[in-house]
Amino acid sequence: MKMKKICFVLSVFFVLSSCGNDDDNSLQEADVTFSFNHNWDGTEVTSLDFNTIQYTNANGEELSIERLRYLVSRVMLTNASNQEYILSDYNLIDVGTEVGLTFTGETEIPTGAYTMSFIFGFNNQDNIDGAYLDLNSTSFNVPMMLGGGYHYMQFDGKYINTSATETGFNYHVIRAVDNPGTNPIFPQDTFFEVDLGTINISNDVSIEVEMNIAEWFRSPHIWNLNDLDTVLMPNSSAQIMMYDNGQSVFSLGTITQ
Amino acid sequence: MKCLKLLFVTIIVCTACTNESVQRYQPTPLQLDIPPLFEQNILAPIIPSDNPMTVEGVALGKKLFFDPMLSGDSTQSCASCHAPQNAFTDDTRFSDGIDGNFGNRNSMPLFNLAWNYDERFTWDGRELSLERQAFEPVSNPIEMHSNWQEVTAELQNDSEYPELFDLAFGTSTIDSTLVTKALAQFERTLISGNSKFDRHLLGQETLTPEELNGFDVFMDEARGDCFHCHGNANNPLWTDNIFHNNGLDATFTDLGLGAVTGDPTDNGKFRSPSLRNLVYTAPYMHDGRFATLDEVINHYSEGLQASPTIDPLMKKVDQGGVQLSEQDKVDLKAFLLSLTDDAFVTNPDFQNQ
Per-residue pLDDT tens over the stretch A34-77: 999 999 999 999 999 999 999 999 999 999 999 999 999 999 99
Residues of B in contact with A11 (CB under 8 A): 7, 10-11, 13-14
Query: Side-chain half-sphere of A240: how many Cα atoms within 13 Å?
Result: 9
Bridge partners, residue A67, by sequence:
A156
Question: What is the predicted pLDDT for the residue at B101?
Answer: 63
> Using CA atoms, how far apart are residues A233 and B301, in angstroms rounded to an integer?
20
**pLDDT score at A11:** 46
Rounded to an integer, the average pLDDT of A198-219 is 96
Q: In this structure, how many other beta carbons lie within 10 angstroms of the beta carbon of residue B2?
A: 11
- What does the DSSP 8-state code read for residue B272? P
State in Å, rounded, how far the first CA of chain B is from the last one.
Answer: 51
Cis upstream peptide for A234 (omega within 30°): no
Chain B: give the shortest CA distance to residue A136, in Å: 6
For residue A26, is pLDDT > 80? Answer: no
At residue B14, the pLDDT reads 45
Which pLDDT does position A25 carry in this prediction? 52
Phi-psi sector, A82: left (phi>0), alpha (psi -120 to 50), beta: left
Confidence of residue B144 (pLDDT cuts 50, 70, 90): confident
Q: What is the pLDDT of residue B97?
A: 65
The two beta strands, A205-212 and A32-40, are: parallel
Q: How far is CA A56 from CA A41, A63, A74, A172, in A?
A: 10, 6, 32, 19
Cα gap B352→B349, rounded to integer Å: 8
Cα–chain center distance at A147:
21
Q: Is the pLDDT of residue B231 over 60?
A: yes
User: Does B233 contact A143 at a Cβ distance shorter than 8 Å?
Assistant: yes
- At residue B317, the 3 state secondary structure works out as helix
* Chain B interface disruption, residue of A136, A162, A177, most B CBs within 10 A: A136
Which A residues in the span 152-171 are in contact with B, Cβ-Cβ below 8 Å? 154, 156-158, 165-170
Q: How far apart are CA B340 and CA B276, in angstroms?
A: 6
**Chain B nearest C-alpha distance from A119 (Å):** 23
Buried b (16+ CB within 10 A) or exposed e, A92-115: bbbbeeeebbebebeebbebeebb
Q: Is the ipTM of this complex over 0.85?
A: yes
CA B21 from centre of chain: 42
Residue of A nearest to B219 (CA): A143
Angle, to 10 degrees, between the axis of helix B161-169 and the axis of helix B148-157?
Answer: 100
Q: Give yes or no for a contact between A142 and A148, defined as CB atoms under 8 angstroms apart.
A: yes
Residue B16 sits at the chain A interface (C-beta within 8 Å): no
Q: Do residue A3 and residue B6 have CB atoms under 8 angstroms apart?
A: no
Do residue A4 and residue B18 have CB atoms under 8 angstroms apart?
yes
Q: What are phi and psi of B309, to 5 degrees?
A: -100, 5
Q: At residue B7, does pLDDT exceed 60?
A: no
**pLDDT digits over A219-228, tens only?**
999 999 999 9
Task: Indicate if the pLDDT at residue B234 is higher than 90.
Answer: yes
Tell whether B222 lies on the interface with A, counting CB pairs under 8 A: yes
Residue type at B214 in one-letter notation = G
Q: Which amino acid is at B153?
A: A
Is the predicted pLDDT of residue B289 greater than 90, yes or no? yes
Q: Does B221 contact A18 at a Cβ distance shorter than 8 Å?
A: no
DSSP H stretches of helix in A112-254 = 133-137, 236-246
Q: What is the mean pLDDT of chain A?
A: 91
pLDDT at site A15: 42
Contact A114, A198 (CB under 8 A): yes
pLDDT of residue A213: 98
In chain A, what residues touch B117 (CB-CB under 8 Å)?
Answer: 137
Among positive and negative, which fits the CA dihedral B322, B323, B328, B332?
Answer: positive
Instruction: Mention every residue, 6+ apart, whose C-beta is less than 8 A from residue A248.
Output: A212, A215, A218, A219
How confident is the model over B72-82, as a mean pLDDT?
89
B283 preceded by a cis bond (ω within 30 of 0): yes
- pLDDT at position A96: 97
- DSSP H/E element including B187: helix B176-188
**Predicted pLDDT of residue A106:** 84
Dump pLDDT digits (tens) for B106-137. 999 999 999 999 999 999 999 999 999 988 88
pLDDT of B102: 64
Long-range contacts of B302-307 (CB under 8 A, 24+ apart): B303/B247, B304/B247, B305/B247, B305/B248, B305/B249, B305/B250, B306/A166, B306/B247, B306/B250, B307/B245, B307/B247, B307/B249, B307/B250, B307/B251, B307/B252, B307/B268
Mean per-residue pLDDT for A170-198?
A: 95
Segment A195-206 shows an average pLDDT of 95
**Average confidence (pLDDT) over B94-98:** 70
Q: Does A56 touch chain B (CB under 8 A)?
A: no
Confidence at residue B53, expressed as pLDDT on a 0 to 100 scale: 98
Question: Is residue B219's pLDDT more than 60?
Answer: yes
Residues 302-341 of B with CB under 8 A from A: 306, 308-315, 317-318
Q: Which of B221, B223, B240, B323 to mutate to test the interface with A (most CBs of A within 10 A)?
A: B221
Position B98 scores a pLDDT of 58
Residues of B in contact with A168 (CB under 8 A): 310-315, 317
Question: Where is pLDDT greater, at A120 or B148?
Answer: A120
> Domains along chain B?
36-189 (1.10.760.10), 196-344 (1.10.760.10)
Total H helices, total E strands in chain B = 16, 2
Find chain B residues with C-beta within 8 A of A52's C-beta: 265
| pLDDT score, position B145 | 73
Measured between alpha carbons, how far is B122 from B168 in angstroms, rounded to an integer?
27
Per the CB < 8 Å rule, is A170 touching B221?
yes
Alpha helices, H only, B20-160: 36-41, 55-65, 78-81, 130-139, 148-157
Of A226, A245, A214, the closest CA to residue A159 belongs to A226
pTM, entire model = 0.91
Give me the pLDDT at residue B25, please. Answer: 87
Rounded to 10 degrees, what is the CA torsion of B215, B218, B223, B227? -140
B314: closest CA of chain A, how far (Å): 7
Question: If you write DSSP's letter for every residue of A206-236 in order, what string do you get?
Answer: EEEEEEEGGGGGTSSS---TTTSSS--TT-H
CA–CA distance, A11 with A15 (Å, rounded to integer): 6
Task: Please list, in sequence order, all residues whose beta carbon lies within 8 angstroms of the beta carbon of residue B171, skipping any fewer than 6 positions away.
Answer: B165, B178
pLDDT at B294 over 80: yes
pLDDT digits (tens, 9 = 90+) for B246-279: 999 999 999 999 999 999 999 999 999 999 999 9
Q: Residue B243 is inside which H or E element, if any? A: strand B243-244
Q: Using the beta-carbon criterion (under 8 Å), do B231 and A145 form an inter-chain contact?
A: no
pLDDT band for A9, please (50, 70, 90 cuts): very low
Residues 215-234 of A with CB under 8 A from B: 230-234
Contact: B317, A66; criterion CB under 8 Å: no
Indicate yes or no: CB of A141 within 8 angstroms of CB of B235: yes
| Residues of chain B above pLDDT 90, percent | 81
Q: How far is B73 from chain A (nearest CA, A)?
A: 42
Q: Does B7 touch chain A (CB under 8 A)?
A: yes
How much of chain A, in percent, has pLDDT values that exceed 90?
86
8 Å CB contact of B10 and A51: no
- Between CA A107 and CA A174 the distance in angstroms is 30
B21 touches A: beta carbon within 8 Å: no
State chain B's mean pLDDT as an integer: 91
pLDDT at position B346: 95
Cβ <8 Å between B6 and A169: no
> So what's the pLDDT on residue A4?
46
